[in-house]
Structure 1
Amino acid sequence: MRARPRPALPSRRGLLLGGAALSATAALSACTSNESNDSDDSTQPAAQPASDKAGKPVTIGFAGPQADHGWLNAINEQAKNRAKTYSDVTLEITEGSNDTAQQIGQIETLINKKVDVLIILPADGKALTQVGLKAMRAGIPVINLDRVFNSPQAYRTWIGGDNYGMGLNAGHYIGEQLKDVRNAKVVELAGMDNLELTRQRTQGFDDALKNYPNIKKVARQAAEFTVESGQAKMAQLLQAESKFDALWNHDDDQGVGAERAIAQAGRKEFLMVGGAGSRRAMDAIKADNTVLKATVLYPPTMAASAIDLARALGQGKGVGGLAELEIPSSITLYSAVVTKDNVDDYLSTGFR
């Protein structure tokens, strides 16, 4: 599902909200009948064009982990702000927790309230699979946001970022910048190694570098997605490697600490590529006065898109721009590389 980067998706308003779906009986008849039709129009239209007009009221439950990180805080804000744009949407949002049992309890409360649709970003996808199944069995469609459940039966639709593609695109960007450098050296400041997403980002990066035989990854440290860990682990990398040509940092929040360590060491012989797409990183890229030259997106706008999908599910709508009458079972967002050349296009998506 995440083995390769996907092409960029159309805009959310053009993609996610379609008109009311045809009934199952009518759709089946239109697709399978061999009999002639008395009408001149022998084909049925697919989903109608997107519309923001108010429709059937929909109550959406939203449960995520504690917003103790810039990206997670942006997830919550994207969901809240998107829901406010719809007069027919009521958002029931939990406080968020990194404690598995507490998050399960919050989700069960939403199930008991009989919300129309649930959006869940699990603190731990494996541990929360059963509560996703419980919601689905109760007739509440679940949108699994980002961290995937263990069973596809636990959700109706998954939407999230492309961790493998994130590393792949970072690697290709660095590769192209260093393709004419003889015996180029790169280092990696990863995230938490106990998370599958970190392993996927590293794998994508390593696979991209295989296309550049002149480049060798000489060191790697795993941090914890915090400023403090980024600074400490980057200091270790700088001490271990007296000279290198590029740094791939998985996360812009821990990148704040990494840049502090770099400044303290007085190092500037290399280029740095960040990850996730914070506004601070984009501002630095635009100013072009530090080693940070690019960041690879992991868009928190996925939460806004999840609201769009939940509204469509609750109103029985399809997806505008596609021929299918139902929304897809999974949507993987593209990990664009933001540089000085295109940063103005992405500034509005940068999280703080």
Structure 2
Amino acid sequence: MKSTYTKVGMASIAVAISLLASAATAKDITLGIVAANMQYPFNAAAVKGFQEEAKTLGAKTIVLDGKGSVEQQGNAIDDLISQKVDGIGSILLDSVVAKTWVDRAAESNIPFVSVGVQVGDPDKVPLKQVYPKLTALVTRDDVESGELVGEMAATLLPKGRTAKIGIVEGTAGVAAVKQRTQGFKQGLAKMGAKYEIVAAQPTDWTAEKGEAVCQNILTAHPDIDLFFGQYDDLGLGCSRAVRAVGSHAKVVTADGGSRRGIDAIKVGEMAGAVCSEPETIGRLSAKALYTAATNKNTPKAQLITYKQIVVTKDNLSQCKPQF
């Protein structure tokens, strides 16, 4: 009987040591995240989710802000590499330049997760392909997002004639811009819509820029039927321009569902949006990085997404704003 107690006692000690070791490992893990610009609500929400999940996992976080500058974002990523953090996540400003940052992290054996932005030349990289040196691309499916908006937009277009559509794109060089437009066209085609895209202009991801772009398009095409904003703030700004001139053009958005966006749909200033979950993306990114940092056998080039839904005035309760 004595030997039995001894075995049980030793087993308990072994378990305790194992738990202590795990706790120590968790406390020693530091994950860095570099935002594109913390002034963008999506970025702030994604970082919030990242920090919350890292805390739950017992990891420390370092948050840096690219402030809309590719050069500043690159310097921030280099700083994290030199600090030898255990993992890096970033909401990338430039899909092409980002390859060099991911490569440098890989050379230092630091896992890298791209938060919401595909890495690689948008004109050359196949859709949904994950850059091989990334641990993961954590994002909504941008083609699907555009397609869902296109299907919704088709129901809003006038019947019996070719509708006129304007697209307010995000920053040139970001893979999501091309993908959302491609998906949008696919969605319209799927619904058999008759349309002409009379204007498509890239700009910064802000309401002010969205308003300015739509003002210009409305001046050139006052009879436009619908605007597709590739981000909620772009749609919000565009809806202001539409109201200012008394246009009847509808406004729809991808990457939507912000608090202000939901309010705009509720009062009829926007027709609908695809509900975006930046906090969820941030949490999934932190989890993917933590897993890679604590398990060197974690597979690379993972694509991690979540289910998307379209929201209109009829089902607003299904979209819980995260930004």
TM-score norm. by structure 1 comes to 0.72
* 1:134 counterpart = 2:114: no
| Aligned residue in 1 for 2:54 | 83
* 1:147 counterpart = 2:147: no
Q: Give the Cα separation in 2 of the matches to 1:271 and 1:106.
A: 40
2:65 to 67, 89, 95: 95
Q: Name whichever structure is richer in helix by fraction.
A: 2
* 1:231 counterpart = 2:211: yes
* 1:265 counterpart = 2:238: no
| Aligned residue in 1 for 2:41 | 70
Distance 1:309 1:239, change over 3 A: same
Distance 1:341 1:315, change over 3 A: farther
The amino acid that maps onto 1:82 is E
* 1:187 counterpart = 2:165: yes
The amino acid that maps onto 1:84 is K
* 1:337 counterpart = 2:305: no
1:297 Cα offset (Å): 3.4
| Aligned residue in 1 for 2:19 | none
Q: Give the Cα separation in 1 of the matches to 2:268 and 2:202.
A: 21
The amino acid that maps onto 1:73 is A
* Unpaired runs of at least 5, structure 1: 1-52, 319-324
Q: Give the Cα separation in 1 of the matches to 2:171 and 2:112.
A: 28
The amino acid that maps onto 2:275 is L
| Aligned residue in 1 for 2:273 | 295
| Aligned residue in 1 for 2:201 | 222
Q: Give the Cα separation in 2 of the matches to 1:114 and 1:206.
A: 44
Alpha-carbon displacement from aligned partner over 1:123-153 (angstroms, at most 9, x marks no partner) = 2232232232222222222112222333834
* 1:107 counterpart = 2:80: no
2:31 to 51, 54, 60: 60
Q: What SS does structure 2 have at the residue aligned with 1:347?
A: coil
| Aligned residue in 1 for 2:233 | 253
The amino acid that maps onto 1:306 is S
Q: Give the Cα separation in 1 of the matches to 2:70 and 2:276.
A: 24
1:54 Cα offset (Å): 6.4
* 1:210 counterpart = 2:193: no
RMSD value, Cα: 2.8
Distance 1:272 1:102, change over 3 A: closer
Q: Give the Cα separation in 2 of the matches to 1:342 and 1:317.
A: 43
Distance 1:54 1:219, change over 3 A: farther
CA contact (8 A) 2:135 2:300 kept: no
Q: Give the Cα separation in 1 of the matches to 2:320 and 2:195.
A: 32
Q: Give the Cα separation in 2 of the matches to 1:125 and 1:311.
A: 23
1:163 Cα offset (Å): 2.2
* Unpaired runs of at least 5, structure 2: 1-21, 121-129
Alpha-carbon displacement from aligned partner over 1:294-341 (angstroms, at most 9, x marks no partner) = 1123431311210121222233399xxxxxx85872223444212223
Q: Give the Cα separation in 1 of the matches to 2:296 and 2:86.
A: 14
Q: Give the Cα separation in 2 of the matches to 1:104 and 1:231.
A: 30
Identity level (%)? 23
Q: Which has the higher contact order (CA 8 A, sep 6+)?
A: 1
The amino acid that maps onto 1:259 is S
| Count of aligned residue pairs for this structure pair | 287
Q: Give the Cα separation in 1 of the matches to 2:39 and 2:25.
A: 35
TM-score norm. by structure 2 comes to 0.77
